[in-house]
Amino acid sequence: MNEAKLNLYSFERPDGSVLPAAEPGAHIDVILPNGVMRQYSLLDTDRSDQRYTIGVKRDAAGGGGSLFLHDKVPVGSLLTVSHPRNHFPLYEDAGHTVLVAGGIGITPIHAMAAKLRRLGRSWEMHYSSRSREDAAFLRDLAALDPVRFHFDAESAGQFLDLAGIVASAPAGAHFYCCGPLPMLAAFEAATAALPPDHVHVEYFTAKDAPASEGGFTVELARSGSSYPIPAGKTILDVLRDAGCDVPASCERGVCGTCETRVIAGTPDHRDAILTESEKRAGDTMMICCSGAKSDRLVLDL
């Protein structure tokens, strides 16, 4: 299905068996026939037809995954997808929920809106896009009263008023945002005074550059092996070079596949997944992009 240069792809098991359950905000890894792996949010996690559905916008300036899906993967293709993972869960019991989406960031927000509607909860959505032509699911969303649109092309260069949206929300509301980096930065600034557990953000692209300064040692607690991390290499790079079988996917700190428990040492967090309190605790880290502030890290590997 095409809408605003967006294709919808549905996956089901060849034998028709039941797929693992998923909640709003969840994403899956999709491994393409050319070996490229990409992460995509699920559009509606309460479907009863045993399918996972994702929305993929064709992006000629991207890393090539969307072009391959649009141009090289016909209906009926057999692809490998992961179990759903969720670093952007919906708190369903909030008195009021404010959903904010920018561009293709509408995909996880769309699933949240569908769930809140089914539950009969109080919610509102603000969807920003460069133009009406670039907006996904425009016709469906326009029929919903709690949805408000902002189109840059029709706003004399003014961006979505995130500060105003936050200020007008009832006390105790939960806020969710997914979109491009400038929107996420503005959203975090607008919600900075709110309780951290009421503010939820998902990044599709890396927030910070990976830690590649090196100059520390990683010890693997299970094997007892130690590896110096040189400048120009990440922890994941070094462990792979040493033949360690370490799970990883995006390698940008946005998917969570490589999350690893930290036994000792102080991580230098560069991911876009862990909350600030989780980063301060230092109990876990994403080894694809994060480094160390201490001379030694002991990992549960």
> For the stretch 262-299, what's the b/e string if a residue is b when 16 or more beta carbons lie within 10 angstroms of its beta carbon?
beebebbbbbbbbeeeebeebebbbbbbbbbeeeebbb
Contact 276, 60 (CB under 8 A): no
Q: Find, among 120, 117, 110, 112, the residue nearest to 91 by Cα.
A: 112
Read off the tokens for 293.
């502030």
Locate tokens 């992961």: which residue?
82
**CA-angle at 27, arms to 25 and 32, nearest 5°:** 160
CATH of domain 216-299: 3.10.20.30
Quote the pTM value. 0.86
pLDDT bracket for residue 1 (50, 70, 90): very low
- Measure the CA–CA gap between 280 and 274, rounded to whole angstroms: 10
Most confident of 51-60, 203-212, 226-235: 226-235
Contact 252, 205 (CB under 8 A): yes
pLDDT given for residue 145 in this prediction: 84
Question: What is the domain class of 97-202 according to CATH?
Answer: alpha beta
The dihedral built from the CA positions of residue 53, 59, 62 and 68, taken in this order, carries a sign that is positive
pLDDT given for residue 151 in this prediction: 94
CATH of domain 2-81: 2.40.30.10
DSSP 189: H
134 bridge partner residues? none
Read off the tokens for 199.
């503010």
Contact 104, 133 (CB under 8 A): no
Note whether 2-81 and 97-202 share their fold.
no
pLDDT given for residue 47 in this prediction: 62
The enclosing H or E element of 116 equals: helix 106-119
| Of 143-147, 260-264, 268-272, the least confident | 143-147
For the chain, what are the domain ranges? 2-81, 97-202, 216-299
pLDDT given for residue 2 in this prediction: 40
- pLDDT tens digits for 6-43? 899 999 999 989 899 999 999 999 998 888 888 899 99
Look at residue 180 and give its three-state secondary structure.
coil
Contact 248, 228 (CB under 8 A): no
pLDDT given for residue 61 in this prediction: 67
Mean pLDDT of 178-193: 95
Percent of the chain with pLDDT over 70: 97
DSSP 85: B
